[in-house]
Amino acid sequence: GTQSYYRQACGVVVDLIKSKKFSGRALLLAGAPGTGKTALALAISQELGSKVPFCPMVGSEVYSTEVKKTEVLAEVFRRAIGKRCDKT
């Protein structure tokens, strides 16, 4: 069912990242509340380990601010890059 589809999708993402075909890119999961985005992100993050930065965020971070949405997303990605730099 749906769970196996999600597991398969996670596997594809993990394989792409591990094979460096997704190198230097970010993955943004979007969708309605309660659809499992956070669970998928955590599963992918755990599978990849600490070498791959993981910066969770929620929609309210983007939509409840006076700052442009693109600036909020850019800041999240900067945090992710900073985390990676801190660990090396």
Same-domain status, 17 and 2: yes
Q: How far apart are CA 31 and CA 9, in angstroms?
A: 15
Same-domain status, 39 and 66: no
Per run of 10 residues, the mean pLDDT along the chain (length 88 residues) is 81 90 80 86 88 77 75 81 58
CA distances from 69 to 14, 16, 24, 82, 84 (A): 27, 28, 21, 20, 23
Same-domain status, 57 and 37: no
Which residue range(s) make up the domain with 67?
Answer: 53-88
Q: How far apart are CA 35 and CA 33, in angstroms?
A: 6
Residue with tokens 């997303």: 73
pLDDT, residue 81, reads: 74
Reported pTM: 0.65
Q: What are the residues whose beta carbons fall under 8 Å from the beta carbon of 18, sequence distance 6 or more? A: 48
Same-domain status, 66 and 30: no
pLDDT, residue 65, reads: 64
